[in-house]
Structure 1
Amino acid sequence: MKHRILAAVAATGLVLTVGGAGSAAAAPAGRDVTAKKLLKVSDVHPQTGMTLLEGPVFTEDGSLLVVDVTAPAGQPKVIRIDTATRKASPFFTDQAGAYTSAQVSPHDGRIYLTDFVSGAIVSIAADGTDPQTFFTGDVDGSAMKPDDLAFDEQGNLYISDTTGHDDPGGQDRGRVVRIDRDGQSATVVAGGLPAPNGISFDEDFGGLWVSQYTANRIDYIGLAEDGTTVTSQHPAMYVNAGRAQVDSNAVDAAGNVYQMFHNQARVMVFSPEGDHLATVEAPVPDDGKYSATNLAIRPGKKDAYLTVSGPSGGFVYRFEALAQGIRQSNGG
């Protein structure tokens, strides 16, 4: 997964490859959907031996942004895509960030990025300028490994802290962390989790869908009105994924949950009641190993855009979602 990859990159700088096969076990029940390649966005970077697209998000002007997690210093780390012309262009870069997700705040309109290596949350202006460190430091005495990000309606941030993802002892040390919209207060909403990765609010902001990377399941965490108190918490969907593991998730206007994967170029779609509704397959080159890690559904439309990465580079694929996109459809 990107977590192990980034840890190795940070520690050694060695050339690395993505693990897991894009053509793993046969698709489970549910109707089949085939995604079509929209464009190639990035090549494998010689410095890191890979490229990894993540965090697709639509901005107010209709642009689609994606992050390239392993982009070297000075090369595009946030990329702007014009889905009509199928053109990609640099949007933001810096010297040290390893960004795993992107989201637009409903509070201030800035774009927020999670830096997996440093543990910081960085924001940039809507035009890709003015980088600022929004939050850094320990939360309840422990550093974060921030992976994905979701905003509530007031602009407070909910982060999947995937600490423990690489623990061979299997200790559940991951957390869901809430940071208030001013960056002044950080609260552990839920702890003792098996490396949470994907995180999305449900369609009415009553709770969170959290994908647990080392358990291959999606949990539902109900929240009180204050947003800091858990009212219920339980495993909601168990995912049969073979050698693959759950990655990011997203939610459409009907409340359906879209689950993406590390080590599989596919998406599984579940109803909020847990029924498996569809499997989206992304046909990939027959040259090795691919992952489909995240997606965004255009707000008010059904066109969905999926990030896929592997030995031939980073790609965006398109398919028709089961329902229209909403804020929770921007895959943090």
Structure 2
Amino acid sequence: MRRLPPRALAALTTAGLLILAGCGTETEDPGGPAAPADGARTIRAQQVMQLTRTHEETGMTLLEGPAFGPDGGLFVVDVTAPAGKPKVMRVDVRRKTVRAVHTDARGAYTSAQFSPYDGRLHLTDYAHGEIVSLAPDGSDPRTFFSGEIDGARMNPDDIAFDERGHLYVSDSRGLSEGAEHGRVVRIDRDGGKATVLADHLAATNGVSFDEEYRGLWISELTQNRVSYLRLSGGGTGGEGAERGEAGQGGEVTSRHTAIRVDGGIAQTDSIAVDADGNLYQGLHGRPAILVYNRHGERLATVEVPAGAKGLESATNVAITPGGTRAYMTVSGPGGGYLYAFDALGKGTRQSNGG
């Protein structure tokens, strides 16, 4: 990554986060738009509102999430927000208002997702290897999971929930040394048991179920590729699911590289999936989203307007449940913004960007 400003380096050292593995490495220049593949079209996103400015304490801002809550609000995290500044925000996209939901003196949160089991908001704390949960209004913070898994702590990045509320977490271990130590970890919905489903991955970042919950799409940031993990039991909890039990289930039965992303200086960040099975691949290092179908064909590139300045990344996207209006988090030296566009398919649980 590029050299961070001294203030940012000091702040991130204090937080235990010397690099933002959950959100990619820093780049010098977001670059211009790449030539589209045959048949791919360009979709121009429109600015909705600015959510953050560069923090004096850390020298940067980086928005992630986003996830629609049960009340229709859009929840967004700011990875580099210092203590006392909003680390979780709720956006009313119709009224174009934003309010703080949560802050603390410790966490560096790289994703947000609501559990279908208990309705709580779950956050990945990359810096401390923990998953924290909150009530939807930001109250009652709890440590949902912490500790080692198979002898190593996680660097948790994104979350995908299966239909029974078990968590599938991208563990971005190995980014700092460039080693393929990344993992996909399954955590029971009560936080009591964690299992490594896949390892030797290249800085695992995005994770999302496909439209039928048969497998997981995962992005590997340092290899600019999207892999597909087919699961036993369709990710529904395996044996005992029909009886309403929290079965272990969901083991990986096969794994392969599905898409190779020609990102140039940009890297593959988070993933969302619409009701038609299309993948929305966020980029760190370029303010754009690449859209693929389930067969790996690139359908579209979502770009911010050419005149937008100071924007380097479009990390993630959420599509309105049951609708096609999509919102992506875009950040850079110019601040943190929410942009909107019309998605190719309708939003579902997998369309919350984890």
TM-score clears 0.5: yes
Deviations, residues 167-201 of structure 1 (Å, cap 9, x unaligned): 1xx42100000000000000000001011100000
- Which whole-Å CA distance do the structure 1 matches of 2:26 and 2:181 have between them? 24
Q: Cα distance, 1:283 vs. partner?
A: 2.4
Q: Which moved more, 1:17-26 or 1:294-303?
A: 17-26
Residue of 191, 207, 211 corresponding to 1:203: 211
Residue 292 of structure 1 corresponds to which residue in structure 2? 314
Residue identity matched to 1:197: N
Residue 35 of structure 2 corresponds to which residue in structure 1? 27
Q: Cα distance, 1:89 vs. partner?
A: 1.0
1:268 aligns with 2:290: yes
- Which whole-Å CA distance do the structure 2 matches of 1:321 and 1:8 have between them? 39
What are the ranges of 5 or more consecutive residues in structure 2 without an aligned counterpart?
239-248
Is the 8 Å Cα contact of residues 21 and 289 (structure 1) preserved in structure 2? no
SS in 2 for 1:274: coil
SS in 2 for 1:214: helix
Residue 134 of structure 1 corresponds to which residue in structure 2? 144
Residue identity matched to 1:331: G
- Which whole-Å CA distance do the structure 1 matches of 2:83 and 2:104 have between them? 6
Q: Cα distance, 1:94 vs. partner?
A: 1.2
SS in 1 for 2:275: coil
Residue 166 of structure 1 corresponds to which residue in structure 2? 176
Is the 8 Å Cα contact of residues 27 and 279 (structure 1) preserved in structure 2? no
Change (3 A) 1:61 1:237: same
Residue 199 of structure 2 corresponds to which residue in structure 1? 191
Residue 85 of structure 2 corresponds to which residue in structure 1? 75
Residue of 115, 118, 139 corresponding to 2:125: 115
- Which whole-Å CA distance do the structure 1 matches of 2:309 and 2:325 have between them? 28
Residue 326 of structure 1 corresponds to which residue in structure 2? 348
Q: TM-score, normalised by structure 1?
A: 0.94
- Which whole-Å CA distance do the structure 2 matches of 1:36 and 1:27 have between them? 21
Q: Cα distance, 1:312 vs. partner?
A: 1.3
What are the ranges of 5 or more consecutive residues in structure 1 without an aligned counterpart?
none
SS in 1 for 2:153: coil
- Which whole-Å CA distance do the structure 1 matches of 2:139 and 2:306 have between them? 34
- Which whole-Å CA distance do the structure 2 matches of 1:109 and 1:65 have between them? 14
Deviations, residues 78-129 of structure 1 (Å, cap 9, x unaligned): 0110100111111111111110000000000000000000010000001110
1:241 aligns with 2:249: no
Q: Cα distance, 1:24 vs. partner?
A: 3.5
- Which whole-Å CA distance do the structure 1 matches of 2:212 and 2:34 have between them? 34
Is the 8 Å Cα contact of residues 245 and 263 (structure 1) preserved in structure 2? yes
Residue identity matched to 2:216: L
- Which whole-Å CA distance do the structure 2 matches of 1:284 and 1:166 have between them? 32
Residue identity matched to 1:156: H
Is the 8 Å Cα contact of residues 55 and 66 (structure 1) preserved in structure 2? yes
